[in-house]
Homo-oligomer: A and B are copies of this chain.
């Protein structure tokens, strides 16, 4: 493996040291960098992690999220492992974006080796708290995971088995006050188990990278749920009530009176309008048009 420049070593307090790590439990005493050192300045950083043996769905989603987040300007952080990590680094490089691999070995001994690793050492950035020359050791990986999450504003878990390294990263992230997003999947595949566990424990369910982009940059993205006019297929009662509510805030009883309808069909139509994002319920039993 040929790094373009000799490894750089930074300590807390030095210029370019990632200050996000100063607040985490077990702050690294120093970090080594190989590759494009300047990438450590790129923010926001988002981690994309997941299984070493993803399904084709998981691999495609890792690429999709890394590509879209890279294109929105985020730096993609992962662990250089096979599977989801690999797909995330690869997509970020392909998008011409910034990407960082945090290693469980010295930056001159990245693992696994291969074309992606060589490219990460020249077009991306390798980061490690372990001394140059150190090989990978099993207990390094859970420690390495706290640096992945610590560097980032949040962690996206794509696919993860029930008890796996990605869940360790997510746990560190939660402890460090970082966002945790998990991608759901089919319940009949074990690779969904870990993501679903995270969602039950409070992680954000994420369907699209736009949701993360909106959260980070406050932009609009191409999300699906921007409420427009009433969708087609509403019942005639719902249509009438939507017209009645223009510029008004009314109770169900008010609506019955104005529309000359009974309470039950009015309640049914209001639920229908709520589910279609046309109507919102305000405190005190009032209804108004949304948006």
Contacts and interface: CB of A to CB of B under 8 A. Distances in A.
Interface string A124-168: 000000000000001100110110000000000000001110011
A18 interface: no
A143 B264 contact: yes
A33 interface: no
Given A26-B263, A186-B186, A168 B272 contact: yes
A25 B267 contact: yes
By secondary structure, the A interface counts as: helix
A263 B235 CA distance: 63
B61 A139 contact: no
Interface stretch (A74-82, A87-95, A187-195): A187-195
B61 A143 contact: no
A185 interface: yes
A139 B268 contact: yes
For the side of the interface on A, what is the size category? 35 or more
A249 interface: no
What is the oligomeric copy number?
2
Given A162-B225, A163-B277, A207-B196, A271 B235 contact: no
A214 to B, nearest CB: 14
Contact of A188 (B57, B175, B196): B57
Nearest to A252: B25
A236 interface: yes
Nearest to A194: B275
A184 interface: yes
27 contacts: A26-B263, A26-B264, A57-B188, A60-B188, A61-B187, A61-B188, A139-B236, A139-B237, A139-B268, A142-B235, A142-B268, A142-B271, A143-B265, A143-B268, A145-B271, A146-B267, A146-B271, A162-B225, A163-B275, A164-B275, A183-B187, A184-B205, A185-B186, A185-B187, A186-B186, A187-B206, A187-B208
The 10 closest A-B pairs by CB, nearest first: A184-B184, A142-B268, A187-B207, A163-B276, A143-B268, A139-B235, A167-B275, A26-B264, A138-B235, A142-B272
Interface of A: 25-26, 57, 60-61, 138-139, 142-143, 145-146, 162-164, 167-168, 171-172, 175, 183-188, 192-193, 196, 199-200, 204-208, 224-225, 231, 235-237, 263-265, 267-269, 271-272, 274-277
